């Protein structure tokens, strides 16, 4: 009996291991999660586009797979979300340059050079020229860029009216806590940056800790910043550029069919975000004006002061906030665009 029992036990064990092996892909798929973080407000254009991408992902998964978007900065600031992706707590994030630079510093060239871009056409041209090499840099550092977007031009929202660069020297600015180079430049020029996270902006301006918030109109409306800072300077200081990124680990775990589906949905979302976000800038300003926002438009002399002020910053930004070679690359692309050499 013992001699018969041994082969039987071996056969049972072999069958069991075979079943486990066959089940393994499905079991793993059932437990799959895609967790995406962002500062974008819940139910905003950006949040809705992220949810649409999730539908494309879910269509290739099992019923038990989970796609979760964490809006409103619930996973921390952008630098924190970049850290969470590295340790696997998030698989992706929709980030502005503030967070993307934690992964690849050269991305700052698209957002950190004030008053460089004169139109969205210039932003689009430079971004597309730099896109292949930029995406490769992210890939080499463990991230896949799925979509590029933007969120409007940065304007200055303040408690008191201001029209000239010197008017802001008596005020206290919100500054990203993860941008020490920017803070150092501001301090050297006589300005007062106060490093905070996005979630701290509203209570800080309500209590007087800060007096000025550089923000896009849409964000100022969505977060009600304009109620405490009802003066807006109408200059296009810089575009807020962003991207949806996934970790390469999450990307490599996907089947080719899933990768194709999510890439197509993400590319479509990027186009929608760029088109609608630019229109929402105008709509947001109109909505805030109806609720008490004052729009301050610099005259020609004041505008000249802003342009000269921004251009004086370029030598200090090059090599610190923006890598020198990338700074030069952007300038070269802009020169070509403005001279008509766009092929």
Note the pLDDT tens digit of each residue in 130-178: 999 999 999 999 999 999 999 999 999 999 999 999 999 999 999 987 7
**Cα separation of 108 and 98, whole Å?**
8
pLDDT of residue 62: 85
Burial 39-62 (b: 16+ CB within 10 A, else e): bbbeebbbbbbbeebbebbbebbe
pLDDT of residue 93: 98
102 in a structural domain: yes
7 in a structural domain: no
Find the CATH number of the domain harbouring 114: 3.40.190.170
Say if residue 343's pLDDT is above 80: no
8 in a structural domain: no
11 in a structural domain: no
Beta-carbon contacts of 138 under 8 Å, excluding residues fewer than 6 positions away, are: 103, 104, 144, 145, 245
Beta-carbon contacts of 132 under 8 Å, excluding residues fewer than 6 positions away, are: none
Query: DSSP code of 116?
Result: -
**Cα separation of 5 and 86, whole Å?**
51
**Dihedral (CA of 158, 159, 161, 165) sign:** negative
pLDDT of residue 16: 42
20 in a structural domain: no
pLDDT of residue 28: 40
H or E segment at 22?
A: helix 2-30
Token pair, residue 77, equals 């600031």
Lowest mean pLDDT among 21-30, 99-108, 109-118, 235-244: 21-30
The total number of structural domains in the chain stands at 1
E strand map for the chain: 33-38, 66-70, 92-96, 143-153, 155-158, 172-176, 192-196, 212-215, 231-233, 239-247, 294-296
Mean pLDDT of all residues in 120-127: 96
Q: What does residue 59 show for φ and ψ, rounded to 5 degrees?
A: -60, -20
Q: How far apart are the first and last CA of the chain?
A: 84
When the pLDDT of each residue in the chain is averaged and rounded to a whole number, the result is 90
Mean pLDDT of all residues in 2-8: 49
Mean pLDDT of all residues in 165-193: 92
Q: Which residues partner with 246 through β-bridges?
A: 92, 144
79 in a structural domain: yes
Beta-carbon contacts of 40 under 8 Å, excluding residues fewer than 6 positions away, are: 46, 47, 50, 71, 72, 94
Say if residue 10's pLDDT is above 70: no
Q: What does residue 247 show for φ and ψ, rounded to 5 degrees?
A: -70, 150
Q: Which domain holds residue 141?
A: 29-339
51 in a structural domain: yes
Mean pLDDT of all residues in 45-66: 92
SS3 223: coil
Percent of the chain predicted with pLDDT > 90: 83
Contact between 85 and 247 (Cβ < 8 Å): yes
User: What is the edge-to-edge ordering of all strands in the sheet holding 172-176?
Assistant: 192-196, 172-176, 212-215, 155-158, 231-233, 294-296
pLDDT of residue 341: 75
Model confidence over 70-97: pLDDT tens digits? 999 999 999 999 999 999 999 999 999 9
Contact between 113 and 238 (Cβ < 8 Å): yes
**Number of neighbouring beta carbons within 10 Å of residue 142:** 14
21 in a structural domain: no
Q: Counting every residue, how long is the chain? A: 343
**Dihedral (CA of 338, 106, 176, 268) sign:** positive
Say if residue 99's pLDDT is above 70: yes
């Amino acid at each position: 009996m013992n001699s018969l029992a041994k082969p039987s036990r071996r056969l049972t064990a072999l069958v069991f291991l075979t079943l486990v092996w066959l089940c393994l892909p499905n079991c793993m798929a059932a437990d799959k999660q895609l967790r995406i973080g962002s500062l974008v407000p819940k139910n905003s254009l950006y949040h809705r586009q992220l949810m649409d991408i999730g539908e494309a992902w879910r269509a290739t998964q099992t019923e038990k797979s989970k796609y979760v978007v964490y809006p409103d900065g619930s996973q921390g600031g952008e630098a924190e979300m970049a850290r969470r992706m590295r340790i696997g707590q998030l698989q992706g994030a929709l980030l502005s340059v503030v967070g993307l630079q934690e992964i690849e510093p050269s991305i700052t060239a698209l957002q950190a050079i004030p008053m460089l871009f004169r139109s969205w056409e210039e932003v689009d041209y430079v971004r597309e020229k730099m896109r292949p090499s930029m995406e490769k840099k992210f890939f080499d550092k463990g991230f896949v860029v799925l979509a590029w977007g933007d969120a409007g031009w940065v304007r200055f929202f303040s408690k008191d009216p201001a029209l000239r660069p010197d008017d802001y020297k008596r005020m206290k600015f919100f500054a990203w806590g993860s941008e020490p180079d920017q803070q150092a430049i501001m301090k050297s020029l006589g300005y007062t940056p106060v490093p905070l996270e996005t979630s701290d902006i509203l209570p800080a301006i309500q209590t007087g800790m800060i007096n000025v918030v550089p923000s896009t109109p849409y964000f100022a409306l969505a977060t009600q910043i304009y109620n405490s800072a009802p003066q807006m300077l109408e200059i296009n200081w810089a575009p807020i550029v962003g991207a949806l990124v996934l970790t390469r680990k999450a990307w490599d775990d996907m089947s080719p069919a899933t990768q194709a589906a999510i890439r197509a949905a993400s590319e479509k979302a990027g186009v929608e975000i760029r088109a609608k976000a630019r229109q929402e800038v105008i709509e947001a300003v109109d909505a805030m004006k109806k609720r008490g926002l004052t729009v301050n438009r610099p005259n020609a002399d004041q505008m000249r002061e802003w342009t000269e002020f921004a251009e004086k910053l370029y030598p200090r930004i090059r090599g610190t906030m923006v890598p020198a070679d990338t700074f030069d690359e952007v300038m070269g692309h802009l020169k070509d665009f403005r001279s008509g050499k766009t092929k």
